[in-house]
A = this chain, B = another copy of it.
């Protein structure tokens, strides 16, 4: 006969019944909510207690009743790493007595002597006025009988896990580590926060892929950086063609000096020449006839790489070795990792690895390159990935974009998108056919829809030649050959401006708040994002072939002024806009990115 009369339900944030932590970035305001009620008319008090996991002292905020048994509070975790919280609620007999007493007085009930005898038992001597003054402090006396919710967790990471502009480049095309170091200030000046490098490790010779993914390399072909491991070492070594250890460290230092950070690739696969194949043969899957299986997903075959055997009898050693690879790079100043195909590795491995790494380096960020089904993508976010690639690259029509963004919104509060208009693996037909207007439209979409976005180098130059019609692979892909790269292209001014706008506008630094706006034109997509007082309205012409006209209808629910100055942040011009219908005309692939200035513009009609 358990008798927990106070019910605490639906505590938020909560992920999968508390199995996984919610996510927040340091300094974020986290909304706490719970449904709390009890039979009868007693007054309840409730608090949320929270602390960094492992600390002894709880912090505490009172929950406020906001109607229909819903209670709310806000907390602001101020340290990196795991936090825990729980709700406590209790009956406040002092407030309850006063409430009932006051209601009887208000109703004109004359004889309250019985009630007052009860009050004296509760408050000791004094007047009702004195009891009113004393009640708030007394409430804590009743707290020993507080009902407690289960413990819930919040994983706190740094702001960069949520908001940042990424630039991907193959160092071998930029003169190796020292060449990259030299160009970093220029990349930083464009407003990028993270420079992501594909694997920088020695590349296997055996079954090395040739140009355009040819099954045989020709002499001098450099191979795919994802075929990791050669005579010079494996995942903890550097490709000698890119530079020395000192060159690498100098590049990391240059990044720090320039105000960007380097992200490395973590790809768990080994070329046939990886030292682990000899040192740890039991980590790889062998057939009864002694052959090691190369990676394959029939009809696809990846003869230049072997996957590890996750069922290996030396599984624990394998896991630790992989963790130590990541820790090793952390110790060399790398705190952001783009993880290759994490969905093809066991979910529990990632939950373990990320926790282990973040226990030592709580700043570490993990970007999941998981282009797969919703369940594994969202699960990887739940087990610790800070952010993930998305289906963005393949969503190009208005209907596709809206459906896609709504799906990603339904995956909050653990899944954070990082939207890339291109990657070395994906050159979408829209970009192939649409040329520069298409590149501009997709860039504005990525930068304004998603707090994290990235481009793969060449985007600024509108590179868009596929290896063949119908393929999403680039012709002469940098994955298999060395290019001569430098930072140039017609899109650089737009990139710089968009990165500036993103840094200046908190509305673009969060994914949650988005309102779709009617345009009366299927080629014009429009949305408003807001954070506090900051409101940014984006309108993009998805048609790369010609101009489009339509409306941008601002519903009253946005709470904007009837009339206001719409500052076009891309055009450095301003219009008078209003809640309601606004005319919009945009050239092929063009966009407005509009800040709302509350004061109406002087002297305009």
Q: Is A121 an interface residue (CB 8 A)?
A: yes
This chain: how many copies in the complex?
2
The interface centre, meaning the residue of A347, A352, A374, A379 with most chain B CB atoms within 10 A of its CB, is A347
Knowing A3-B346, A7-B379 touch, does A289 contact B373 (C-beta < 8 A)? Answer: no
Q: Is A582 an interface residue (CB 8 A)?
A: no
Cβ proximity bits A345-372 to B, threshold 8 Å, 1 near / 0 not = 1111100100000000000000000000
Cβ proximity bits A91-111 to B, threshold 8 Å, 1 near / 0 not = 000000000100110110100
Q: Is A333 an interface residue (CB 8 A)?
A: no
Q: Is A16 an interface residue (CB 8 A)?
A: yes
Contact B375 A104 (CB under 8 A): no
Q: A299 CA to B107 CA in the complex, in Å?
A: 5
Q: A1 CA to B318 CA in the complex, in Å?
A: 12
Please give the distance in Å from A381's CB to the nearest CB on chain B.
Answer: 13
Q: A289 CA to B2 CA in the complex, in Å?
A: 31
Contact A39 B379 (CB under 8 A): no
Knowing A1-B316, A299-B103, A345-B39 touch, does A9 contact B379 (C-beta < 8 A)? Answer: yes
Interfacial chain B residues near A348, Cβ < 8 Å? 1-5
Please pick, from B3, B288, B346, B379, the residue contacting A117 in the complex, using a CB distance under 8 A. Answer: B288
Please pick, from B1, B39, B109, B288, the residue contacting A344 in the complex, using a CB distance under 8 A. Answer: B39
Please give the distance in Å from A544's CB to the nearest CB on chain B.
Answer: 31
Q: Is A114 an interface residue (CB 8 A)?
A: yes
Contact A291 B114 (CB under 8 A): yes
Knowing A299-B103, A348-B2, A352-B1 touch, does A375 contact B7 (C-beta < 8 A)? Answer: yes
Interfacial chain B residues near A215, Cβ < 8 Å? none
Q: Is A604 an interface residue (CB 8 A)?
A: no
Contact B310 A118 (CB under 8 A): no
Interfacial chain B residues near A41, Cβ < 8 Å? 297
- Who on chain B is nearest to A6 by CB? B347
Q: A35 CA to B16 CA in the complex, in Å?
A: 13
Interfacial chain B residues near A114, Cβ < 8 Å? 287, 289, 291
Cβ proximity bits A13-30 to B, threshold 8 Å, 1 near / 0 not = 000111000000000000
Q: Is A410 an interface residue (CB 8 A)?
A: no
Knowing A7-B347, A315-B3, A375-B37 touch, does A288 contact B121 (C-beta < 8 A)? Answer: yes
Q: Is A343 an interface residue (CB 8 A)?
A: yes
Within residues 106 to 127 of chain A, which ones have a CB less than 8 A from any CB in chain B?
106-107, 109, 113-115, 117-118, 120-121
- Who on chain B is nearest to A289 by CB? B117
Contact A374 B103 (CB under 8 A): no
Within residues 41 to 77 of chain A, which ones have a CB less than 8 A from any CB in chain B?
41, 68-69
Contact A107 B347 (CB under 8 A): no
The interface centre, meaning the residue of A289, A319, A343 with most chain B CB atoms within 10 A of its CB, is A289
Q: A381 CA to B513 CA in the complex, in Å?
A: 34
Interfacial chain B residues near A347, Cβ < 8 Å? 4-5, 7, 39
Q: Is A559 an interface residue (CB 8 A)?
A: no
Contact B349 A3 (CB under 8 A): yes
Interfacial chain B residues near A289, Cβ < 8 Å? 113-114, 117
Please give the distance in Å from A113's CB to the nearest CB on chain B.
Answer: 7
Interfacial chain B residues near A344, Cβ < 8 Å? 39-40
The interface centre, meaning the residue of A298, A299, A376 with most chain B CB atoms within 10 A of its CB, is A298
Please give the distance in Å from A264's CB to the nearest CB on chain B.
Answer: 22
Knowing A107-B299, A109-B298 touch, does A68 contact B100 (C-beta < 8 A)? Answer: no
Interfacial chain B residues near A4, Cβ < 8 Å? 347-348
- Who on chain B is nearest to A375 by CB? B69
Q: A69-B373, A69-B374 are in contact. List 15 more A-B contacts (CB 8 A).
A: A1-B316, A2-B348, A3-B310, A3-B349, A9-B375, A9-B379, A37-B373, A37-B375, A39-B345, A41-B297, A68-B374, A69-B375, A69-B376, A117-B287, A118-B287
Binding site for B on A (CB under 8 A): 1-5, 7, 9, 16-18, 35, 37, 39-41, 68-69, 100, 103-104, 106-107, 109, 113-115, 117-118, 120-121, 287-289, 291, 297-299, 310, 315-316, 319, 343-349, 352, 373-376, 379
Supply 27 A–B pairs (Cβ within 8 Å), ascending by A.
A1-B316, A1-B319, A1-B348, A1-B352, A3-B346, A5-B346, A7-B375, A9-B379, A35-B375, A37-B376, A39-B343, A39-B345, A39-B346, A40-B310, A40-B344, A68-B374, A69-B373, A69-B374, A69-B376, A100-B298, A104-B298, A104-B299, A107-B298, A109-B298, A114-B289, A117-B287, A117-B288
